Copies of this chain bind each other. A is one copy, B any other.
Amino acid sequence: MRVTTIHGPGDIRLEDRPTPTIDKPTDAVIKVVAGCICGSDLWPYRGENPITPGETIGHEMIGVVEEAGSEVRSFKPGDFVIVPFCHSDNTCPACANGMQSACVNGGLTTGGQGEYAKVTQAEGSMVKTDGMPDPSLFASLLTLSDVMATGWHAAVAANVRPGSTAVVVGDGAVGLCGVLAAKQLGAERVIAMSRHEPRQEIARQFGATDIIAERGREGIEKVKELTNGVGADAVLECVGTGEAMRTAFRVARAGSMVGFVGVPHGVELPVRHMFSANVGLAGGIAPVRKYLPELLDLVTSGTINPGIVFDSRLPLADVAEGYKAMDERRSIKVYLEP
């Protein structure tokens, strides 16, 4: 089967590899219907994360069960499933506490940009749809594998409340989904920090009431102006860089929370400021499985349509071009069809 591999910075290849097999009774093999490229895939692509040359890449997918192990009792071949990027048994203490991303038996999808991929802990990880969904829903369903659930986690961690003012730092697919999540959770005002017109447009469609194109100190000043000098009730940090985190803390009002979901790179937390202003930080790797049933309902009922974050569709054969387009910010998020 064909699957995407990374051999070094900027070096993405589609290669032939053995089709995954059931090695443990908790495994399932999925025929991928659609995968995609994540903002976090750009870290190794840009040489910011270490890699093993030739390793497979891609952690988001929707697909059809090809084969399931003997302990995967709720699924059978042919079921259409959404696969959280982080696998979980959904029974261990971490899962029982709603933090499936810290499952003691957890794992990650590693071949989502391919024709077939393995899910470990398939029983506790996957969620199936009610029959084969209409292809018009595929894009939105695919976002539930990671970015929409991750944006949702940012909003939950930031403690977004009805009537509140939320700021979203980051206009990647996760940040845009964070706008949608904050709106769904009742924020009255959602301020999206974005300087790219196509992203601003999606942010508006997702419910952003204000757009701030400025960055750094000027961006912070703009948020202060919009909030009568007070700052926001909830801040979603959806990038993971030091600058994004600094902005997040500076626009958060005293007593509020920053919810962070961008994988931190070069981030130093301002502990003195956090202490004096009582601005907390929560979040991390999203427990996708926890939110998935609720988000699936929102998608299938047509309440939310997060799939519009995909502004590019490519055949799997063009995956290298997809990475290039996202790296150069020509594309927000690339949908891949095997």
Taking residues whose C-beta sits less than 8 angstroms from the other chain, chain A's interface range is 35 or more
Cβ contact of A283, chosen from B272, B280, B283, cutoff 8 A: B280
CB of B157 within 8 A of CB of A254, answer: no
Cβ contact of A97, chosen from B101, B254, B272, cutoff 8 A: B254
Give complex CA distance A271, B281 in Å.
Answer: 10
CB of A283 within 8 A of CB of B287, answer: no
A284 beta carbon closer than 8 Å to chain B: yes
A6 beta carbon closer than 8 Å to chain B: no
Give complex CA distance A270, B8 in Å.
Answer: 28
* In the complex, chain B residues whose CB is within 8 Å of the CB of A285: 275-276, 278
A304 beta carbon closer than 8 Å to chain B: no
Listed stretches A20-28, A168-176, A259-267; interface member: A259-267
CB of B272 within 8 A of CB of A264, answer: yes
Cβ contact of A228, chosen from B93, B272, B283, cutoff 8 A: B93
* In the complex, chain B residues whose CB is within 8 Å of the CB of A274: 281, 284
Give the oligomeric copy count.
Answer: 2
Give complex CA distance A260, B257 in Å.
Answer: 14
| Shortest distance from the beta carbon of A10 to any chain B beta carbon, whole Å | 25
CB of B99 within 8 A of CB of A255, answer: yes
CB of A101 within 8 A of CB of B267, answer: no
| Shortest distance from the beta carbon of A272 to any chain B beta carbon, whole Å | 6
CB of B264 within 8 A of CB of A275, answer: yes
Give complex CA distance A279, B97 in Å.
Answer: 12
* In the complex, chain B residues whose CB is within 8 Å of the CB of A72: none
| Shortest distance from the beta carbon of A117 to any chain B beta carbon, whole Å | 22
Q: Give me the 9 closest cross-chain CB pairs, A-B, nearest first.
A: A280-B282, A99-B255, A102-B254, A278-B284, A269-B269, A275-B284, A99-B254, A93-B230, A94-B254
**Interface of A toward B, CB cutoff 8 Å:** 93-94, 97-99, 101-102, 157, 228, 230, 233, 253-257, 260, 263-264, 267-269, 271-272, 274-285, 287
23 CB < 8 A contacts A-B: A94-B255, A97-B254, A98-B255, A99-B254, A99-B255, A99-B278, A101-B278, A157-B280, A260-B275, A264-B272, A268-B268, A269-B269, A269-B271, A274-B281, A274-B284, A275-B283, A275-B285, A276-B285, A278-B282, A278-B285, A278-B287, A280-B282, A281-B282
